[in-house]
Amino acid sequence: MITIKDLSKVFSTKSKTISAVDNLSLEINKGEIFGVIGYSGAGKSTFIRLINRLEDPTDGQVVIDDENITLLNKKKLRVARQDIGMIFQHFNLLWSRTVEENISFPLEIAGVPKQERQERVHELIRLVGLAGREKAYPSELSGGQKQRVGIARALANNPKVLLCDEATSALDPETTDSILELLVNINEKLGLTIILITHEMHVIRKICHRVAVMDAGKVVEQGDVLDVFLHPQKQITKKFVEQIMGDKDQEDALDLLKEKYDSGKIVRLHFIGELTNQALISQVAKQYEIDINILQGKITQTQKGAYGSLFIHIDGDEEEIKRAIDYITSTSVEVEVIPYV
């Protein structure tokens, strides 16, 4: 478990002082993927760099598994850092080394004997799906492949925690997905704790269990990803949720729809972390003598299931419609009947 307590970092330049991280406290559980989201300049990078002390804190502490990182002397810090993997937006690979030599580097630093090093490197190359590219130089790899090398390198010494600083921000959407999948895979397979910072909500949505929203050096909101999606409290959080769900304005278009139908009912289905009711529409259509017309909606997948809303038009016998709606109400999907004007 990682405990961050009253952590602060003040940068002083000639003209001004900046509180990049301001009295920040967080608890991160073992084995979870914890996301930190915020706009550029919010202090995310500074925060994650304070965890392995690439920046020294002005105040506060970071405790990883009962080891107070903030109190370690230089020598002990170096050893502790071997237990903290880190990957970067721009990969930061050594261009002068091949894939396998890059992955071998942290093992050399840790003083692992050559034979063992080679075995471990092979294992890691297979883990991240780079078999056959061992002898390639970074300049011969795609962005996604480079990040795979970065991940393998970060995992080499079996760290307790993996820090990801905008690890997918330099990648195209498809490559981003494949890297995120790899991270989930590693999290599940190795039980590795992952702390990930990003400015993109879909990264949080896809892989994080919990999320903290950061603004001006402070955590302004945190919780389970689904809760934050469902009940965003702060304006900034709502903005991030809109990145994915679109904003509420689209519901205005509903008025137009209402005019088109003079029979049946328009119903809004709200999916909240659905794992079991994903085939709901087809079930209802089969069981009841009704016609279902999908009007509009947005459903997205999170680590904890589907989330979003869907507007449908149900037509048919009044009684049958009522039975169908009662059935849907009995599931965990929330139903809201939109009244005709």
Partner 1 sequence: MFNELFPNVKMDDVWVATYETFYMTLIALLGTFILGILLGLLLYLTSRGGLWQNKALNFIVASIVNVFRAIPFIILILLLFPFTDFIVGTIRGPNAALPALIIGSAPFYGRLVEIALREVDKGVVEAAKAMGAKTNTIILKVLLPESMPALVSGITVTGIALIGYTAIAGVIGAGGLGDFAYFYGFQRRSFDVVFVCTVLIVIIVFIFQFIGDSISNKLDKR
Ligand X SMILES: Nc1ncnc2c1ncn2[C@@H]1O[C@H](COP(=O)(O)OP(=O)(O)O)[C@@H](O)[C@H]1O
Chain residues binding ligand X by CB under 6 A are: 11, 13, 18, 20, 38, 40-46
The smaller minimum CB distance to ligand X, of residues 21 and 154, is found at 21
Only segment of 39-47, 70-78, 95-103, 271-279 that touches Mg ion (CB under 5 A): 39-47
Give the shortest CB-192-to-Mg ion separation in angstroms. Answer: 22
Residue from 2, 45, 125, 271 touching Mg ion (CB under 5 A): that is: 45
What is the rounded distance in angstroms from the CA atom of residue 138 to the CA atom of residue 147? 10
- Residue 83: CB minimum distance to ligand X, A: 23
Answer yes or no: are the C-beta atoms of 225 and 303 closer than 8 Å.
yes
Q: What's the CA gap between 176 and 74, in Å, rounded?
A: 35
Stretch that binds partner 1, among 12-20, 87-95, 220-228, 310-318 (CB under 8 A): 87-95
Cβ-based nearer residue to ligand X, 216 or 338: 216
Kindly state whether residue 164 participates in binding partner 1, applying the rule CB under 8 A.
no
Rounded Cα distance between 62 and 3, Å, is 6
Work out which of 21, 28, 84, 204 binds partner 1, going by CB under 8 A. 84
**88, 44 Cβ separation under 8 angstroms:** no
Nearer to partner 1, 107 or 266 (CB): 107
Q: What is the rounded CA–CA span in Å between residue 81 and residue 83? A: 5
Residue reference for tokens 């304006």? 235
What's the DSSP call for residue 181? H
Residue 90 interaction partner, one of partner 1, ligand X, Mg ion, none, beta carbon < 5-8 Å per kind: partner 1
How is residue 100 written in tokens?
A: 């396998």
The answer to whether the CB of 327 falls within 8 A of the CB of 287 is: yes
Q: Which is nearer to ligand X, 45 or 222 (CB)?
A: 45
* Degrees to nearest 5, angle at CA 174 with 170 and 176: 40
**Partner in contact with 97, chosen from Mg ion, ligand X, partner 1, none, beta carbon below 5 to 8 Å by kind:** partner 1
Evaluate whether 35 touches 208 at the Cβ level (below 8 Å). yes
Residues contributing to the site for partner 1 (CB under 8 A): 52, 54, 77-82, 84, 86, 88, 90, 92-97, 105-106, 108-110, 137-139, 153, 157
